[in-house]
A = this chain, B = another copy of it.
Amino acid sequence: MGKKLYHGAAYYPELWDSVVIDQDLQLMKETGINIIRMGEFAWSTLEPEEGKIDVSFFAELINKFYENGIETVMCTPTPTPPIWMTHGFPERLFVDMAGRRMGHGSRQHICSNNQYFRERAAIIAEKLAKGLGSLPGLIGWQLDNEFKAHVNECTCATCKELWHKWLREKYRTIGSLNNEWKIGAGQPAYRSFEEVPVPENTASFRSLPLRMAYRQFSMEKIAEFADEQAEVIRQYSKAPITHNSSIGFHVDNERLFKNLDFASFDTYATIEHAGAYLINCDIWRNLKKDKGFWIMETSPSFSASLEGTATPHPNGYLKAEAAAAYALGSEAFCYWLWRQQRTGCEQPHGSVISAWGKPAIGYENVLEVERMREALEPILLSSQSCQAEVALVYSDHAKAYFQNGPFKKLNYRGFITEFYQQILSNGIHRDVIQPGADLEGYKLLFTPYLPSLPEDAAERARQFAEKGGIWITGPLTGDGGTAIPEDDDELVLEQKYGEGKIVQLHFIPRSEEEKKRLEKIIDQYANEAGVDLRMDISPGTIAIPRKAEGNQIWVMVNMDGNGGEIDLPFKGYDLISECAVPCGKTEIGKFEYKVLQSFESHSPAVS
């Protein structure tokens, strides 16, 4: 890894015969696919009966594809445990917070804390690692798939027992738990850990501390499972390990990826939500800072997994997405899925080729991505992502708080993305970081929508301000999330703090007017903080700085299909067209990308 830009697809050879597989191999080569991901749903293929495990099918495929220039990320198959694991063992099944036991027939139907499941998962991972871990074509591992995408917290008997154990380890005494939790009228006191329920049916007033603790328990347990699996694999394979995650799932990605080797995610945003796509790139690049991240799944055309109809991306948008991702630090841009399913609920999902082996809708766009990838590869492999001067904190705990808390209708992801959009509109290069991230190197820090800002994060932010940074906090941060009424007159509160400043925002930018106001505030403080890594661009176009040897390059991408304009502060050179570009206004076409190199002294400094 790190030696090429990957262009790939998810592949399910276990569903097809060898004639189709040969056709696929040929078509992938024609298309420019250089990486496949396999195996995440193949447990019943690998182990049709308990203990009868055979990985040779995949070993042969990995070798065959490698011989044809296509490398492999292999997955552990734990999202779909075979029927023999649950039939006759209802106690192993997932139970939701309403007490409903999940049935077989979909995914994630087992309790991932079940001891027997953990044992079988370790055995299948070991067999895969032993059998495939040293193959030259295998360049990475993916654990499971989309943890907690389809389910939330399990409340089965196993979980209940582990919950009480977890509470005891966390709080030591029941008095300590009561002290932390018993702070709202009508909240109960417990006499022992055994009395603390799992979240269940209650009337409208839920216990927020109970819900938040249970979510944390669940998020730690799934990360613990990932740690266990990674440990097994590392005994037999040196290939780096990731997980295909998302900020939409019920996980704490900061914790989940702590012991994994690189970050991957899936995304299915439409062009209207290009901001949601870009914030993801900025989040995942910063999750494992020293490594490139992967877009492990995205649609080659449209996302219609469970919807009745969907509008495909406009022609050209896929290329813009991929160019932006590569320039923002992605090592890979992979589709779900290569070949359309022949049946099942995901049959209408976007694919590269149809079930009968013909180009599917969007195929021309995939070819366009490949041409762009070839053009950008030498430029991007010889340059690196720049750390931004501006950081925005994203928190899965805050997301959980808003989901469980009193603000029933507040959507954390929507709010944070909207906030991010105003940074983007200012043409500012930005990192989106986790609450536990180091703040070294930043000039401007944003912490909106963090009701329960952890004390260590707050301390780091204060030190950041003390040393001269500008810390802009709120709305809804650090006060347990008291709703700010709409006609509050104090708007922005600013105070000196050490050599820097702390600024409090007291409004939620919802109307167009409020969004404009936030955009201006960001501009004002970015100027005050001396933020240089920004570019004067028209809306809908983005500018991404990268460090090249002894110089700096900017990748420009038009994301909205309207084309745009960049006001270049330097005289540059277009590395794609190989033409000089004058200082001042220059145009960019619909979904076009440009790479501009500056040779002048007044170009923005590289951090």
Give residues 41-90 of A contacting B (CB, 8 Å): 41, 44-45, 48-49, 79-80, 82-84, 87
Q: Are A205 and B348 neighbours in the complex by a CB distance under 8 Å?
A: no
Using A189-B48, A347-B480 as known contacts, say yes or no to A203 and B102 having CB atoms under 8 A apart: yes
* A179-208 contact mask (Cβ, 8 Å, vs B): 1 or 0: 000111111111100110101111111111
A361 vs B485: C-alpha distance when bound (angstroms): 8
A488 to chain B, nearest CB (A): 8
- The verdict on A602 contacting chain B, using a C-beta distance below 8 Å, is no
Please tell me if A118 contacts chain B, counting CB pairs below 8 Å: no
Residues of chain B within 8 A of A199, CB atoms compared: 103, 105
Name the one of B151, B205, B361 contacting A346, with C-beta atoms under 8 angstroms: B205
A550 interfacial contact with B, CB 8 Å: no
User: A12 contacts the other chain (Cβ, under 8 Å)?
Assistant: yes
* Complex alpha-carbon distance, A11 and B101, angstroms: 42
A346 to B480, CA, bound (A): 11
21 A-B pairs within 8 Å (CB atoms) are namely: A15-B183, A102-B203, A105-B206, A106-B186, A106-B203, A109-B202, A109-B203, A150-B203, A151-B203, A184-B341, A185-B337, A185-B341, A208-B347, A301-B485, A308-B409, A308-B410, A308-B483, A340-B482, A347-B406, A347-B481, A348-B483
Q: How many copies does the complex hold?
A: 3
Docked CA distance A354–B485 (Å): 14
Q: Are A344 and B187 in contact (CB under 8 A)?
A: yes
- A448 to nearest B CB, angstroms? 15
Complex contact B190–A83 (CB within 8 A): yes
> DSSP majority for the A interface?
loop
Say yes or no: A486 contacts B309, CB within 8 Å.
yes
Contact B184 A347 (CB under 8 A): yes
Residue of B nearest to A362 (CB): B485
Whether A486 lies near B189 (C-beta < 8 A) is no
Determine whether the beta carbon of B406 is less than 8 Å from that of A305.
Answer: yes
Contact A191 B49 (CB under 8 A): yes
Min Cβ gap A584→B in Å is 38
Q: Report how far A301 CA is from B485 CA in the complex, Å.
A: 10
Alpha-carbon gap, A340 to B186, bound state (A): 14
Please determine whether B186 and A79 come into contact, CB atoms closer than 8 angstroms: yes
Number of interface residues of A (CB under 8 A): 92
Task: Say how far A309's CB is from chain B's closest CB, in angstroms.
Answer: 5
Given contacts A184-B342, A205-B345, A208-B345, 13 further A-B contacts (CB under 8 A): A15-B183, A41-B187, A101-B201, A103-B201, A105-B197, A105-B206, A184-B345, A307-B407, A307-B409, A309-B486, A346-B406, A347-B481, A348-B483
- Does A405 contact B345, Cβ atoms closer than 8 Å? yes
Q: Nearest chain-B residue to A210 (Cβ)?
A: B105
Q: Which residues of the partner chain B approach A340 to less than 8 Å between Cβ atoms?
A: 482
> Does A240 sit within 8 A of B, measured CB to CB?
no
| Per-residue interface assignment for chain A, residues 487 to 499, with 1 indicating a CB less than 8 Å from any chain B CB and 0 otherwise | 1100000000000
A355: chain B residues within 8 A (beta carbon): 480
CB closest residue in chain B, given A484: B309
Interface residues of A in 78-129 (CB under 8 A from B): 79-80, 82-84, 87, 96, 98-109
Query: Across chains A and B, which 3 residue pairs bring their CB atoms closest together, nearest first?
Result: A184-B344, A103-B200, A150-B203
The yes or no answer to A575 lying at the interface (CB within 8 A) is no
Known: A15-B184, A104-B188, A184-B345. A485 touches B201 (CB 8 A): no
Among residues of B, the one whose C-beta sits closest to the C-beta of A200 is B103
The answer to whether B485 touches A312, judged by C-beta atoms less than 8 angstroms apart, is yes
